[in-house]
Structures are given as C-alpha cells and as structure tokens.
Amino acid sequence: MLGLPDGIRACLFDMDGVLTRTATVHMAAWKRTFDEFLRARDPQAAEFTQLDYNRFVDGKPRADGVRDFLASRGITLPEGTPDDGPETPTVHGVGRRKNVLLLRELEEHGVEVYPGSMRYLEAARAAGLATAVVTASANGDQVVAAGGFGHLLDARVDGVVAAREGLRGKPAPDTFLAGARALGVEPAQAVVFEDALSGVAAGRAGEFGYVVGVDRVGQADALRENGADVVVEDLADLIGPEPIGDQPTTEESQ
C-alpha cells in the first residue's frame, strides 16, 4: 500500500522539498544572499542559480552550503563564529544573512505543505510505521509547527539537534542514523525520503533499507545516480490516486 519493501518499520522524511514547499523559499533566500555578496566583490560575477543550489547547498547545514558554494567560485572566507552578524564577511556571517532573509519570508508567507506528502504521512502512520523528520534546517521546530503536522511525527532531528550532538551534515548519514535511533529501528528497517542530492547520498551511505528520491526540480537522473532506489514526483505517487466519493460495489458496477 505504501510502495515500500517488506521489513520497513520506519519512515525518515527530509522536510524542505519533501513535506513542505519551503525549498523554494530557501532557494530565494540563498540567491539574494549570494548574489548580493558576489556583486559586492565583483559587479560582473555570475549570479547564483538553481543548479548551484542543487549541487552545493540543498540539504546541507547552512555553514557547509556557504563554504561549498563559495569554494566553487574560488572564494574562501574566515569561518567566524555562530554569533557573527548578518553583515560579517565570514562563513557564519553569510549564513546568518541567509537565515534573516528566510525567517522574513516565512513570517510574510507562512509554510505551505505538499498535500500528497501529508496523505502519505497519514497513511504511514495508519499502517503503524514510526515517522521522523530529518532536516538540516535550524528552524525545523518552527516550520513543523507552522505546517501543522507535528502530531504525525514521532521524532525530529534538525540543525539544532545536529549542532548539539555533533552530527555531520548530509551527505554524511549521521542525521538519518540519529533519526533511526530515535525511532528505535535499525537503518535497514527504515526508508529515507529526500529531494536533495546530498540527502539521497546520505541515505545510501547509511545503508538504509530503501531510499526514495523526490524530484521537484527535474533532477531524477541525478537523484538515482546519488543513491535513490526509486524516484517519484510526489509521495502520493507511491500510493496511487485518492479515491473520489464512494466506490460502487461489484453488483452496482455491472
């Protein structure tokens, strides 16, 4: 019924781009942050693109995203500290600027969830599977609360938890492994749902029982290449169309 192999006992969902539409909000905040930063250094610098987001930023902890994207442009900044302000020219300062813009967007526009993902989450719970959200976002608690689906989750591993426990970010499997531990299952008994290339790579590196790639931006082949066992455009694709009204009995349909 859920499109999963036998033996799966738990579901580990990435949040941005899988359960919520906040991936587009993240992309917009990153783009404004990096474009302003790059233009201040070189008015002719090429702008930050969707491909840059997919390759270097999506699914990663904020500081890793800053570091990896700037490295792709040959730029190295001092690390700084988590207390750096949003105008500080450090890795943490650039990350803080992005977060200020993200929170402003969330405050103005709220959080939109994917209806198909909510259907799937509800179906997984009804089937008796344990569920957790695993996200690099340090705002995981706020987004889950704003999205109104906290009651469908048994555990949450986000950027705050990762920092507290010293977990490496995706593509390392640490946060997904922590999610499995929180649900009391072995990795082989859990399925990872991810839209980010780094996320499916983390699912494969952690030797999870199944990795579902969610293709929101036309990167199905890349998701498979990075470790997805199957790729869908929406989680509802795994359970088929939603029934419309009462279905006729065999007698009625004859």
pLDDT in tens, 18-34: 999 887 888 989 999 99
Handedness of CA 62, 67, 68, 69 (dihedral sign): positive
Residue 232, SS3 per DSSP: strand
| CATH number of this structure's domain 10-21+112-238 | 3.40.50.1000
Q: Which of 14, 52, 58, 215 is catalytic?
A: 14
Specify the pTM: 0.78
Beta strands in 71-199 (DSSP E): 130-134, 155-157, 190-194
42 flagged as catalytic: no
Phi then psi dihedrals of residue 92, to 5 deg: -70, -30
| Residue at 8: amino acid letter | I
Q: What are the structure tokens assigned to 182, written together?
A: 């929180």
For the chain, residues classed under CATH 3.40.50.1000 are 10-21+112-238
Q: Which of 6, 16, 68, 246 is catalytic?
A: 16
14 flagged as catalytic: yes
Q: How many CB atoms lie within 10 A of CB 139?
A: 21
Question: How are beta strands 190-194 and 10-13 bridged, if at all?
Answer: parallel
Q: pLDDT tens-digit profile of 85-117?
A: 999 999 999 999 999 998 888 888 778 999 999
Q: What are the structure tokens assigned to 133, written together?
A: 């959200």
Residue 240 buriedness (CB in 10 A; 0-12 / 13-18 / 19+): exposed
Which residues of the chain fall short of a pLDDT of 70?
240-254
Handedness of CA 222, 226, 230, 233 (dihedral sign): negative
